[in-house]
Structures are given as structure tokens and as C-alpha cells.
Amino acid sequence: MSTFLGLPRAVDTSQLRGRPFPEAARAAVADPQLRRNLGDATATIRAKRARVVGEVPDWESLRAAGAAIKDHTLANLDSLLLQLEAAVTARGGTVHWARDSAEANRIVTELVRATGADEVVKVKSMATQEIGLNEALEAAGIAAWETDLAELIVQLGHDKPSHILVPAIHRNRAEIREIFLREMGAVGLPAPADLTDSPPALAEAARRHLRQKFLSARVAISGANFAVAATGTLSVVESEGNGRMCLTLPPTLITVMGIEKLVPTWQDLEVFLQLLPRSSTGERMNPYTSMWSGAVEGQDFHLVLLDNGRTAVLGDPSGRSALRCIRCSACLNVCPVYERTGGHAYGSVYPGPIGAVLSPQLTGPELNATLPYASSLCGACYDVCPVAIDIPTMLVHLRAQVPHPAPERAVMRAAAYAMGSPRRWAATRSASRAGRLLGGRRGRIRSLPPPLSGWTASRDLPVPPAEGFRDWWTRTHGSPPPATPPPAAGGDGAGAA
Amino acid sequence: MSARDEVLARIRLALGDRPTVPEIPRAYRRGGDLDEGARLDLFADRLVDYKAAVRRCAPADLLGTLVAALTDRGAARIVVPPGLPWDLPGAVVDDGLAATDIDRLDGVVTACAVAVAETGTIVLDAAADQGRRVITLVPDYHLCVVRADQVVQTVPEAVARLDPDRPLTWISGPSATSDIELKRVEGVHGPRTLEVVLVS
Ligand code: SF4
């Protein structure tokens, strides 16, 4: 028996980590088409959410219950998982445990191989994206077809999802038509040659293309939105019916679920079935929710319980409430940073505010050091979160853990020194005039010389005004302003673009 | 150490601070306050809002209403669950039909287990008058009969009435997607048309 050594995090970080946020965000904010798509989309979903949340008189009570149910789950996670295992097994399912992504991928691959199938249909699932399941299956010679329309667009476009809920939010209809015409034929039923770019025509092409796959697939792979420990009930919440197709038609069903997706009792679903649809798509209820307990209607059912860094998150008392997240994506849609950069800038399958906390927690903060800064700390994400995760406080908590780049530390030290005495502060005024020269005609400073380049690597700096406050005071009052305590050195307000 | 033992050991170590959690506050609404008439009106309203079609009738007129709906729709051959209590023209009783056979039929007629007025939802629990999950999934048209006493106002009332050991399908309007520029399109993989006959 091997010795147990501490709490390892996700081993394979390829799906949770990309280019540093500032670098990826720079390209995104310079893309006007992307900014327009994102701006329209997030504004639309925000408004829908606000309307349907507004009609629920007991929203805050539901939210408090949702947060408390998840906290109870986390505090009793070991016994509840055992309860779930017993309930699923008693109802004819098989439960597997996976420490990390490699283990989960191995389990799923072997299960698929045992059926003799060389292709599977998939319901959109964050957990399988997180572990890179499609890539692992492909390496084993098994084709995995995404069946959610947006995921299909992403997959056929050889692209990455950019939003938890609407993964192809960065694509417009003309691009989608192109992708369908170019790619569908290579992997199944081709798109009709006269395909237009109207959304109904595009959806119809996807329907025909995928129906062929649903009717022939022998294995389906899904995630789970909720699992009820007491009854072994799993549920998948969706809109298109692709989830129902996958969960119903193939003779073998494999569900991969993060261990935090649990709720203790059947009754608890009454809370989350109200919180989730209104928070995510802004609907009173999503078109389809499927629930099943164990193996039903003759299906062979396997449940894979995934750790992959979650226990490390659980081990941090100030950070564990991130595991309450039900992946509704409400925090993405209200985030001013997400609205401008889109999901790809976060470099992780978990974008937006929740991604900025969850990704570094899962990988270890040093591997995602810039993400805790991908926020203005405005607090909008906390306000909309249906399980009341205090994301801003957690971001600050994580900022204290990530290694700060040396130039940024140097700038902070210099700023603290300059602001430490009125004389030194006054001396910076002439320096800031030099800043106007650096800014040139564009009126933004894009790069400062080292060591200050560390600062501008992540921010365009507005040029200092021609006349500083103290100069203005002296000119208009005829004498320097009275000595006041110097402004506190603070990082976040300073000229973020 | 097996993966199971190791994950459990990690959890116990992670919870070493023995977090205490307060009671779950259940101050939210657990039931509705509308009388039957208002509840049914709300249900019909929410269904229409979801682009489902609604017909209302008295118990005595049910069969005629179903036949009229099928005729209007041009659904000549329909699949029905083995326990459906109404004898409908063109009905093929599901005795384990293959999905490809169901795919060739025009529609499906079922009853339901529970319905939720506030969210416009019907819930099927695979009882004999509702049948296997596949028959309400593959055909393009679903005609569903809902009795007044099956309609509750709120989600908690519906959850309380349902049996978690049965496979459940919650349906709110027809299949829909908003994945292309957030334009809602009805009917992707599930039935493109949902019609509810509300009997009271
Ligand atoms: S953090 Fe909250 S708002 Fe964001 S996705 Fe998770 S549950 Fe939704």
C-alpha cells in the first residue's frame, strides 16, 4: 500500500491553463467583431436573467438554501459519496473513482473498448472538457462526437469553447455556415449544398447530421448537473434534446462527474431546479431535464467520480466555497472583464470570474498566476451567483498566494517609496510629465522601459494629465496644497484598460 | 491504495478543520397560493410563452379533442405507450419498437405524472400511460394529456410528488437552442412541436 502524501492537484493542466491572461486578452480586446458579439450576447442573457429572477419572490431565500445545501455537501463529502455509491450500485449501476484526469480517461477508454465501439456520442460536459477526454479517446482510436449544437460548432471548427453555456458565443452565423459546409461531410452526413446562414437552417443541418449518429451510437458519455446521494439519482439539464438522445438511445451510458456535484437529498433538487435555469439561460425552466437512478430501461450504466484537484480546493477553508459552483455561467455574463476579453483569454475550460478562481485552485496558483488579476473586483459576480460564492474575496485571497512577477513587485515598491513622503511624491510629478512623451499621439502608454515594463505588460496606461492635481491647486490657489497624508499605494485602480 | 480509498482519504484530510455548517434555511416557498382556476390559467399561459400549443377541454370531450389535434397536425401514424387509456386512430402501441421505427412515425401521445404551473413544465415518469423515454423523444410531435389534479403551482410541490427511483423527464416547451447568435430556434433534436391538452 502506498503512503498518502498530502493533497495533490490536477496532474494534467493542459485544459486548465493557457497563455497568461494579459497576453491572451490583448489580442481579444483588439478584435472589434469579437467585442461586439460578446457585448450583445452578454447583455441579452443578463437582461433575460434579471427578468426571470425578478419574478421569483423568494429568490434570496432560495439562494441562501442553495449555498447552505452545498456547504453541507462539502462538509460531509466522504460519507455522501459513499451513500451515492451504494445507491447507484443497488440500482444496477457501476461506480468508478478517479484521482485525476489520466485515471478518469483510462477508465472511460477501457469501458468504451469493452463494448467494442469505436465512436461515442457526448452530452456537453465541463468535467470531460476539464480532463481532455475527447483527446484521450482520439488517441485510443475512438471518435467522440459532441452533440450540443454549440459544442458541435466548436468541434467542427477545430476551436475551443469560450463560454460555459454558449461555447460558440464568439462565432457568428456566417462563420457557422462556413464551418458546417466545410467540415460536416468529412465526419458524417454533409450539410446541404444550399445551406443558408439563417439560424433555423443551421439548426436543421445539425439535427440531420447528428440524428444519424444518435441512432447508431452504442455508447454515450455525459456529465451530471446534480447527483442525489440518498437516492443515487443523476440529472442532466439541457435544451436541445441532444442530452435526452444520448442518455436514452445508446445501450451503454458513462457519466463523468466531479465529486462536488452532489446534493444530499432528493428534496434538495427543488432548490437547484429553480436556481439553475433562471441563472443560466434566463428561462423559468430549461426545455429538458432528465433524471435517472442507476441502470434504467435496460441500459448498462457507469458513473465515474472525479477528484482532479477538487480535494485540494476543499482543503483550503478560504477557497472551498468555489466548489459550490453549479456552472450556471451567470457570473460570466455580468463580468466587465469577460465581456471585453471573452472566454479564450482565460486559457482554461473554466472562463470568467469562476474560472479566475477555480482554474488556479485546481492547478495550484503558481500555474495560473495571472488569472486572479483578471477581474476588476466590482462584485457583480457575487451578486448574481445563485449559490452566493464570494468570488471577489476569493480573488484577493488567491492574489496573495500567486507569485507576483518581479517587475510588478519592483513597481509596487517604487510606488510605495515615492508615495512615502510629500517631497518624493512631488518629484514624481516631473516624471509623470515624461509619461506624456511615452504615450505619444495615441494617448495610451503601451510599454514602459524595464523594470516598469512588467506593469504595462498587462495594462495600457493612460498618459498622465498635462497638469497634475498639486500643480493645478498651486496655480489656482497661489500656494501649494496643505500637507496631507499621501494617497495609499494601491494596485487595482491604476489605469487598467 | 485504491483510487476510491485515496480520494476518500484526501477528503478527510481536506476537512481536517472540521468545518461546521449552519442548518439549511428552508424559508423559500414550498407551496403555491393560487386556486385551481388561476393555477391552470398560469400553466396554460406559461406553456404558450414557451411556444407549446394548448387545448383545454372537459373530461367528456377528451377523445374528440385528441382526435382533432392529431387531424389538424396531419399525424396519421402515432406511437402510444402500452397503458394509454384512449383508443386513438393510427396508434402503434410501443412494445419495444426500435428507435429507427419510431423515427418513421408522425408523433406520440402520452399522459403525464405531474405538471408545474409557474414554469410551464410537464414531467413524465415512464408509467404505463407515458411509456419509455425514447417514444417521447424521437418523433417530431408530442401530444400530452394533463389532468387538472396533476398541475401543481411550484417546483417544490412537483419534486415532493415524484418518485426518484423512476426515470424522469421534465419537459418545458419544445426542444430549443439559442446557440447561434442567441436566436431561439425551436426543435433541434427533441420534438419540434409540443401540444398539451389540459383536462378540467
Ligand atoms: S460561480 Fe456562481 S454564478 Fe458563476 S458559474 Fe458558478 S454558480 Fe454560476
Atom of ligand 1 nearest to the CA of A279: 8
Q: Is A470 exposed, middle or buried (0-12, 13-18, 19+ CB in 10 A)?
A: middle
Q: Do the Cβ atoms of B167 and A297 come within 8 Å? A: yes
Cα gap A230→A225, rounded to integer Å: 16
Nearest residue on chain A to B157, alpha-carbon basis: A270
Cα gap A294→A299, rounded to integer Å: 9
Q: Does B34 touch chain A (CB under 8 A)?
A: no
Q: Higher model confidence: residue B156 or residue A208?
A: B156
Q: Residue B11: CA atoms inside 13 Å, Cβ hemisphere, count?
A: 23
Cα gap A296→A217, rounded to integer Å: 18
Predicted structure pTM score: 0.86
| Type of residue at A7 | L
Q: For residues A435-455, give the mean pLDDT.
A: 52
Neighbours of A37 (CB within 10 A): 20
pLDDT confidence of residue B187: 78
How big is chain B by its Cα radius of gyration, in Å?
Answer: 21
Residue A412 pLDDT exceeds 80: no
Distance A352 CA to ligand 1 centre (A): 9
Q: Do the Cβ atoms of B99 and A215 come within 8 Å? A: yes
Residue B112's Cα: distance from chain center in Å?
A: 7
The single-letter DSSP state of residue A4 is P
Q: Does A148 touch chain B (CB under 8 A)?
A: yes
Helix pair angle (A199-216, A149-156), 10° resolution: 90
Cell of B110: 402520452
In total, chain A counts a number of residues equal to 497
Residue B126's Cα: distance from chain center in Å?
A: 10
In total, chain B counts a number of residues equal to 200
Residue A3's Cα: distance from chain center in Å?
A: 34
Neighbours of A6 (CB within 10 A): 9
Q: For residues A342-360, give the mean pLDDT.
A: 87
Question: CA B141, A274, A277: angle at the middle one, nearest 5?
Answer: 60
The single-letter DSSP state of residue A2 is P
pLDDT in tens, A138-179: 999 999 999 988 888 988 999 888 787 777 888 889 999 999
Residues 452-481 (A) with a CB less than 8 A from some CB of B:
none
Residue of A228, A318, A354, A360 whose CA lies nearest to B19:
A318
Residue A236 pLDDT exceeds 80: yes
Residue in the structure block whose three cell numbers are 426515470: B167
Q: Is A218 exposed, middle or buried (0-12, 13-18, 19+ CB in 10 A)?
A: middle
Q: Do the Cβ atoms of B179 and A149 come within 8 Å? A: yes
3-state secondary structure of A42: helix
Q: Does B156 touch chain A (CB under 8 A)?
A: yes
Please state, rounded to an integer, the average pLDDT across all residues of chain B.
95
ipTM of the complex as predicted: 0.96
pLDDT in tens, A120-142: 999 989 999 999 999 999 999 99
Cell of A138: 482520439
Cα gap A210→A155, rounded to integer Å: 13
**Which residue among B116, B118, B179 sits closest to A168, beta carbon to beta carbon?**
B179
Question: How many percent of chain A have pLDDT more than 70?
Answer: 83
| Confidence bin at A487 (pLDDT 50/70/90) | very low
Strand order in the sheet with B53-57: B53-57, B193-199, B141-147, B107-110, B78-80, B91-93
CA dist list (Å): B19 to A74, A76, A272, A315, A326: 9, 9, 23, 11, 21
**If you take atom 7 of ligand 1, which residue's CA is the nearest one?**
A325
pLDDT confidence of residue B22: 85
Residue A496 pLDDT exceeds 50: no
8 Å CB contact between A180 and A205: yes
Cα gap A280→A126, rounded to integer Å: 14
Q: Give the pLDDT of chain B (200 residues) as one tens digit per residue.
A: 899 999 999 999 999 988 888 899 999 999 999 999 999 999 999 999 999 999 999 999 999 999 999 999 999 999 999 999 999 999 999 999 999 999 999 999 999 999 999 999 999 999 999 999 999 999 999 999 999 999 999 999 999 999 999 999 999 988 888 878 888 888 788 899 999 999 99
Taking the alpha carbons at both ends of chain A, their separation in whole angstroms is 54
Q: Does B2 touch chain A (CB under 8 A)?
A: yes
Beta bridge partners of B30: none
Residue of A283, A210, A229, A223 whose CA lies nearest to A254:
A223
pLDDT confidence of residue A495: 36
- Top mutation candidate among A279, A335, A348, A349 for ligand 1, by most atoms within 8 Å of CB: A279
For the ranges A85-94, A204-213, A304-313, B97-106, which has the lowest average pLDDT? A204-213
Q: What is the 3-state secondary structure (H, E, C) of chain B?
A: CCHHHHHHHHHHHHCCCCCCCCCCCCCCCCCCCCCHHHHHHHHHHHHHHCCCEEEEECHHHHHHHHHHHHHHHCCCCEEECCCCCCCCCCEEECCCCCHHHHCCCCEEEECCCEEECCCCEEEECCCCCCCCHHHHCCCCEEEEEEEHHHEECCHHHHHHHCCCCCCEEEECCCCEECCCCCCCEECCCCCCEEEEEEEC
Cell of B38: 388561476
pLDDT confidence of residue B170: 98
Cell of A211: 440524428
pLDDT in tens, B47-75: 999 999 999 999 999 999 999 999 999 99
Q: What is the 3-state secondary structure (H, E, C) of A87-141?
A: HHHHCCCEEEEECCHHHHHHHHHHHHHHHCCCEEEECCCHHHHHCCHHHHHHHCC
Which chain B residues are within 8 Å of A58, Cβ to Cβ?
27-29
Q: Residue A192: CA atoms inside 13 Å, Cβ hemisphere, count?
A: 12
Residue A407's Cα: distance from chain center in Å?
A: 29
Q: Do the Cβ atoms of A166 and B182 come within 8 Å? A: yes
Q: Does B178 touch chain A (CB under 8 A)?
A: yes
Beta bridge partners of B15: none
pLDDT in tens, A366-397: 888 888 888 888 999 999 999 999 999 999 88
Helix pair angle (A352-363, A391-401), 10° resolution: 40
Atom of ligand 1 nearest to the CA of A327: 5
